Structure 1
Amino acid sequence: MVRLLILLGINIFIMTGCKTSGHYKNPVIFSGADPWIIKQNGFYYYCCSMNNGIGISKSKNLHQINPPKQIWKAPEGNKWNSSCIWAPELHYLNNKWYIYYAGGYGGPPFIHQRTGVLESMTDDPMGEYVDKGMIFTGDNPTDLENNIWAIDMTVFYYNKVLYAVWSGWDKNEKTDKTSQNLYIARMDNPWTISSSRVKISSPDKYYEQGELPLNEGPEVLIHNGDVFIIYSCGQSWLDTYKLAYLKLKKDGDPLLQESWVKGKSPIFEGTEDVYGVGHACFTTSPDGKENYILYHSKKDKVPGWDRDIRLQKFTFDKKGMPYFGKPEPLNKVLALPSGTK
């Protein structure tokens, strides 16, 4: 995936979702991409790329995301993760905070991207972190020399087992115009993959086609025991970027490709007024009674990566499927998340 704006190391962060008479409007962040937010102990922690590093903000209100504080900067020099810091995610695992991110060493072409993880040194998610190094995302976890291109890693527990899911290539290539798939593997701990990767999705549906077929930005959504992977497909620089899903079969083994069922159509896509929706994450309202999707959207139809961050409520239907509806247009008056004070 080519992300020229991120290469520039510029992260313009302007809070726009202001509280007014019990309502808010989109966008909640004027400029940004690949949003990630986690709710913990009554606060929302937003994690993002900034200044060739990673930033985190702490907010009481979901619709009012404060500017981030930079908590980590990529190492200088020609290190594996010295630039191109993409799509960081903050997770709380085993009583510690971890940040998963993609990094590389130069581009274009962006052919060196790998995945790394940081571990907190304190209980404060905005405190200091130690770099736990690169995560192995190749075919054989005992062959650490032959790692393979990987971005957008997320993690989740299922039946007390920790799994990693990411977007990657079949093999390393000399061009970033390479199709991307979704992979899964088991983890022994938050920084060590302990099984061979398993490809669980390739861009083989009609709605996943285009200039460069991609499956990327996977995020896990669990509801009443059902496990969904909501992912982005199409091309991030086009207005046709959209969300699709995989669903784990009941009692299915996450490490078997046949355990995952892909949707027959997209689950969330743009309209005449909203373009290129993608790379979403999920949380709940302050009182936990409502579900929310946070996603990025293109500001116009012109190819490129000028995007903002938007927030809207979603529900689950009678069959337990997430229902996102249509993306709300800019500046539409929306009710505040329930429990907002």
Structure 2
Amino acid sequence: MISVLKNFIISASCILFCFACGHKNANTQQKETTISNTYTNPLLPIGARPWATFYKDKYYYLQDVDDRITIWQTDDITDIKNVVSKDVWVPEEKSNSSHLWGPELHRIDNKWYIYFAADDGNTDNHQIYVVENSSENPLEGEFVLKGRIATDKDNNWAIHASVFNHNNEWYMIWSGWQTRRIEAETQCIYIAKMENPWTLATERVAISKPEYEWERQWISPDGSKTGYPIYVNEDPQFFYSKDKSKVLIYYSASGTWTPYYAVGLLKADVNSNLLDPSSWIKSEKPVFTQNEDNQVFATGSPCFIPSPDGTETYFLYQARAIDKEPYGSLPSRSMDTRSPRLQKMEWGPDGIPILGEALSEIEKITKPSGTK
């Protein structure tokens, strides 16, 4: 009898222990699931001008790599730090061998095109280039240089090209100089229609230039500055209002080496002539800017992407955790402190996106809906 009772106690204890372990594991799994459903900024320790597109359930992410073009492929845009990247194009000509800035990947007529700016080692010689790949997957096949896109007859400095289709016509928008720098440098936003993915069909038209004080900041709070004044409008990005009644172009303004780098907005009626400067209305104030309380500075270069299930819209942007670059001059890749960040966008009552405030690096953010 004692032996039977002893065996019963041992069996019951084992059952309770197994139940407790199972209960603990369930709690742990639930906790891990909760944790894995969030992310924090930045997405990578370093990365300027982040850009991504969503195609057939995959995100394709790019950023400045300086001497080549690299693509990250992932189904979770918040986890690119754990994704293997692939170099898809390395320049072979001196004219486009250095300072590869602002690469963007676009699908046009069943082919992939990457637009980027590059120079011969002298940043004053920046021009816009495009490479083409006919493969379905941009990580397969080969990207081939189609050439430089001539933006004006004087071959003025040009960077940050982006393209979009509107009313069955393709447009290119970019940042460039009105004329070559003499005592000061002024970057404007230009637009032109495209004849094909590597050729413009019309003359460039300036639709924005740095005119407000918040667009013309080039001196950091401690007095550090570039060797001459640089007034900046750059990184234009196309988007539609919620009801598709407005064409929107977001852009970045002021020096990226200052904490004042911010996002501005141009709006035009959807049926207006986009090549007419009078069609565009500029926001008098920035629509997304630094957040000193959250220690996020130099916010700019927004790019809009959908959640995996298409129910939400997020925007990528670059920012820094310090209020100035440590060297007080134009960023170099070895000392760059900019990093890619991601936040959810909301719609305002007028159908215009609300970007909100730049979130801190400790805030846990819910991943985009449909992320696996």
Give the TM-score normalised by structure 2: 0.81
Task: Tell me what 2:23 maps to.
Answer: none
Alpha-carbon distance between aligned partners in 2 of 1:315 and 1:228, rounded to the nearest angstrom = 15
User: Any idea what the Cα deviations from partners look like across 1:69-123, whole Å, max 9, x if unmatched?
Assistant: 10111225xx32121111100001111100000000113xx21000000000322
Task: Tell me what 1:120 maps to.
Answer: 133
> CA offset at residue 299 of structure 1?
2.6
Residues 30 and 19 of structure 1: is their aligned pair in 2 closer, same or farther, counting only changes over 3 Å? farther
Is 1:291–2:313 an aligned residue pair?
yes
Specify the code of the residue in structure 2 equivalent to 1:73: V
Is 1:43–2:58 an aligned residue pair?
yes
Alpha-carbon distance between aligned partners in 2 of 1:89 and 1:161, rounded to the nearest angstrom = 19
Is 1:255–2:269 an aligned residue pair?
no
Tell which deviates more after alignment, 266-275 or 59-68: 59-68
Alpha-carbon distance between aligned partners in 2 of 1:235 and 1:255, rounded to the nearest angstrom = 27
User: Any idea what the Cα deviations from partners look like across 1:293-313, whole Å, max 9, x if unmatched?
Assistant: 100101311235411111010
- For the 8 Å contact 1:37–1:47, the answer to whether it is kept is yes
Specify the code of the residue in structure 1 equivalent to 2:85: P
* Selected match of 2:256 from 209, 220, 236: 236
Specify the code of the residue in structure 2 equivalent to 1:189: N
Task: Tell me what 2:301 maps to.
Answer: 279
User: Any idea what the Cα deviations from partners look like across 1:239-260, whole Å, max 9, x if unmatched?
Assistant: 1100000011242111000011
> CA offset at residue 162 of structure 1?
0.3
* Selected match of 1:310 from 318, 341, 344: 341
1:152-167 aligned within 5 A: 152-167=160-175
User: Any idea what the Cα deviations from partners look like across 1:143-198, whole Å, max 9, x if unmatched?
Assistant: 5xx322100000001110100000000123367x5110000000011111010000
Task: Tell me what 1:300 maps to.
Answer: 322
The structure whose Rg is larger is 2
* Count of aligned pairs between the two proteins: 313
- Please report the RMSD computed on the Cα atoms of aligned residues, expressed in angstroms: 1.6
In structure 1, runs of 5+ residues without a counterpart are: 1-17
> CA offset at residue 264 of structure 1?
1.6
Task: Tell me what 1:13 maps to.
Answer: none
- For the 8 Å contact 2:44–2:339, the answer to whether it is kept is yes
- For the 8 Å contact 1:234–1:242, the answer to whether it is kept is yes
Task: Tell me what 2:198 maps to.
Answer: 191
SS at match of 2:43: coil
Alpha-carbon distance between aligned partners in 2 of 1:162 and 1:70, rounded to the nearest angstrom = 27
Residues 19 and 37 of structure 1: is their aligned pair in 2 closer, same or farther, counting only changes over 3 Å? farther
SS at match of 2:125: coil
- For the 8 Å contact 2:214–2:260, the answer to whether it is kept is no
Task: Tell me what 1:171 maps to.
Answer: 179
Alpha-carbon distance between aligned partners in 2 of 1:57 and 1:290, rounded to the nearest angstrom = 22
- For the 8 Å contact 1:111–1:174, the answer to whether it is kept is no
Alpha-carbon distance between aligned partners in 2 of 1:114 and 1:21, rounded to the nearest angstrom = 42
User: Any idea what the Cα deviations from partners look like across 1:5-29, whole Å, max 9, x if unmatched?
Assistant: xxxxxxxxxxxxx983421111111
Tell which deviates more after alignment, 190-199 or 206-215: 206-215
Residues 104 and 51 of structure 1: is their aligned pair in 2 closer, same or farther, counting only changes over 3 Å? closer
SS at match of 1:337: coil
Alpha-carbon distance between aligned partners in 2 of 1:215 and 1:205, rounded to the nearest angstrom = 11
Task: Tell me what 2:92 maps to.
Answer: 75
Is 1:137–2:151 an aligned residue pair?
yes
Higher helix share: 2
Alpha-carbon distance between aligned partners in 2 of 1:99 and 1:70, rounded to the nearest angstrom = 13
Alpha-carbon distance between aligned partners in 2 of 1:51 and 1:169, rounded to the nearest angstrom = 21
SS at match of 1:207: helix
Is 1:94–2:109 an aligned residue pair?
yes
Is 1:24–2:24 an aligned residue pair?
no
Give the TM-score normalised by structure 1: 0.88
